[in-house]
Chains A and B, each alone.
Chain A
Amino acid sequence: MTRTRDINVTVNGKIYELAVEPRLLLADFLRQSLGLTGTHVGCEHGVCGACTVLVDGDSVRACLMFAVQADGCTIETVESLGRIGKLNPLQESFHAHHALQCGFCTPGMLITVTDLLKKYPLATDDEIREGISGNLCRCTGYEHIVKAIRAVKAGAAS
């Protein structure tokens, strides 16, 4: 067994100091070490987007980063966005537009869109579709997800 490293990370506003094995993926650290199971693990090679989280404000694949690399970083997971009874506008819009069925892709979708909204105009449906093209959804056919994002965008603009 490789020796562990002490890391200090802020996740959803809370500071954690833990010892981790270097090979522990950030996604597994969040789920198993911290019990934050909102972040989902799908393909484990960066294709499906289900494990997307914000590291220092930027969306990243939590399966393509080691927890040890997050030492000193600020991480936000889907749990930071809202909670039952107090969803944020993006979550509300996903709810209102039936943008999820099984919900497996939803945490990654929400985090990805949170970053997209900061960085791109998302002025057209094509742009929205391109933006979420790195997040696979096998239920919705994306139609309702695009609608939900469009509605949030319109709400933010008005």
Chain B
Amino acid sequence: MKPASFEYVVADSVVKAVNVLSEARGEAKILAGGQSLVPMLNFRLVRPAILVDINRIPNLAFIEEMGNAIKVGALTRHYQLEISPVVAKHLPVLASAMTHVAHLAIRNRGTIGGSLSHADPAAELPMMALLLDARLHVVSSKGERTVAASDFFRDALTVDLGEDEIVTEIHLPKLPPNTGWGFEEVARRTGDFALAAVAVTVTASDGKIAEARIALTGVGPTPVRARKAEALLRGEKVETKLIERVIETVRAEIAPDTDLHASSDYRRHLAGVLTGRAVSAAWKRVTESIT
């Protein structure tokens, strides 16, 4: 299908973009990579009066080190995250996740700011933002604010973003030393949205887990952290019995939906299996690099 007519505005600055959003009072949408928005326009699921193209705003695509964090510009394409040496060095779990994001032609266009703002319930990047305790920098015509990923994702395709606001930067804290990671996903076809996916980091100290993070996607309206399962891991060594308890805990913590692609029960089962694998992989990475 073809999109309905819209007015097309090229924003050459963030200020211009948010001013158009503000004046349009909810009738305008930001066009970034367009890899989620344009399908919705083609299906006429959305019919905004105005599209504000931000692709020509300078200095909105970058990956920079800033102390203990990596600063990523909202217009950074998925492929740039996938191949970034900075990401590979400090956030290898994110580099791994990026290879699961759609296909090359989509990764060449799609942006991190767009993916987070769109918040598909089965997308990888919202899960990674939640896992890595990301902070999103948000700008409107009235001012700026920072919001934690844990507060940002509200419901399916619904985020803490006003109709006149735009995400401009994402701050991702580097993984601490002695941290291992795991990433597991099952999709119907490589590059499709996840039926379930899980990302894990474990930070070791004195041969035990000091800190653990488990995030899942595809198992509910928003990505989730499995906080109870994380708590089980703290202070422990990873062994078969513990992994079994973690798997059961994760399954109890989530409430996946049934849809065309998979039932709730199957997704719950899958989330457990994948968590077990990801925790084992994370533990293996951290113990092998320590010893």
A interface residue numbers (CB < 8 A to B): 1-2, 5, 21-23, 25, 28, 44-46, 49, 52, 58-61, 63-66, 68-69, 112, 115-116, 119, 129-131, 133-135
Contact = CB atoms under 8 A, between A and B. Distances in A.
Contact of B8 (A22, A25, A116, A131): A22
Contact of B105 (A22, A23, A52): A52
B43 interface: yes
Given A22-B51, A60-B109, 18 more contacts: A1-B5, A2-B7, A2-B8, A25-B2, A25-B3, A49-B103, A52-B105, A59-B104, A59-B105, A61-B106, A64-B34, A65-B38, A65-B109, A116-B104, A131-B104, A133-B103, A134-B104, A135-B103
A19 B105 CA distance: 26
A97 B62 CA distance: 42
- How many B residues are at the interface, by size bracket? 20 to 34
Interface of B: 1-8, 31, 34-35, 38-39, 41-43, 51, 53, 55, 79, 83, 102-106, 108-109, 189-191
A132 to B, nearest CB: 9
B134 to A, nearest CB: 26
20 contacts: A2-B5, A2-B8, A22-B6, A22-B8, A23-B2, A23-B3, A28-B2, A44-B42, A45-B38, A46-B39, A49-B103, A59-B108, A60-B108, A61-B105, A66-B34, A69-B34, A130-B190, A134-B102, A134-B104, A135-B103
Contacts of A60: 105, 108-109
